[in-house]
Amino acid sequence: MHIDIFSDVICPWCFIGKRRLARALAADSDIAVTVRWRAFMLNPDMPAEGMDRQAYLALKFGSPAQSRRVYDNVLQAAEQEGLVLALDRIPRTPSTVAAHRLIRWATEQGLADPVVEALFRAYFQEGRDIGEPAELATIAGESGLDAAAARAMLATPGGEAEILSEDRSARRIGINGVPCFIFDGQYAVSGAQEPEVFAPIFAAARSGALTSSAAQ
């Protein structure tokens, strides 16, 4: 079974959804799975330098009270998955184009998952600026990649177009929020769903129904 995961590394529900999918897969460990992380940007028009976090929250939610209500739900859900999010440590909301470029590059080297995990941790738990190429190169090195090569890749122009194109393609097929999990190119599950939501799809994969349907 192949899973395309559309996500953004500044999306807390994507971090939570990653954990829930992992729990679901652990419960069905007899299924052979491949995963590809796909680019989606919550803020495709974000300036390259990012935005002050408090200014961003005010623009997005309208008031501190509304922002607190939204993130209280996020924090509770994260805690249920064993994640402690340090949202108050985030100084800026970054553009994620460069982070998605790093994920794409890591995919070519078979290390996308550790890089995605490290990016989530860096942003939501450590308050690091994952919009800065130097920080991204450091994260790449911490994830088993060559930090100098990552820095050189990020300094090479031209990769942004591919990320923007993938984001637009996601929206064209109806993806308007993340995480979104697409199984074998045909079944989509949107949102950070509980592990049991995946069970019928895994059962179909186990029985061969997904493969049979895809071949029709």
Domain extent, residue 6, equals 2-215
Q: How many CB atoms lie within 10 A of CB 112?
A: 20
Interval 92-141: pLDDT, tens: 999 999 999 999 999 999 999 999 999 999 999 999 999 999 999 999 99
How many domains would you assign to the chain? 1
Q: 63-99: per-residue pLDDT in tens?
A: 888 999 999 999 999 999 999 999 999 999 999 999 9
Nearest by Cα to 73 from 163, 216, 192 = 192
**Residue 33 belongs to a domain with what CATH number?**
3.40.30.10
Phi, psi of 41 (to 5 degrees): -120, 120
User: What crossing angle do the helices spanning 12-27 and 112-124 adopt, rounded to 10°?
Assistant: 130
pLDDT 10s digits, 132-163:
999 999 999 999 999 999 999 999 988 999 99
By C-alpha distance, which of 145, 174, 212, 216 is closest to 1? 212
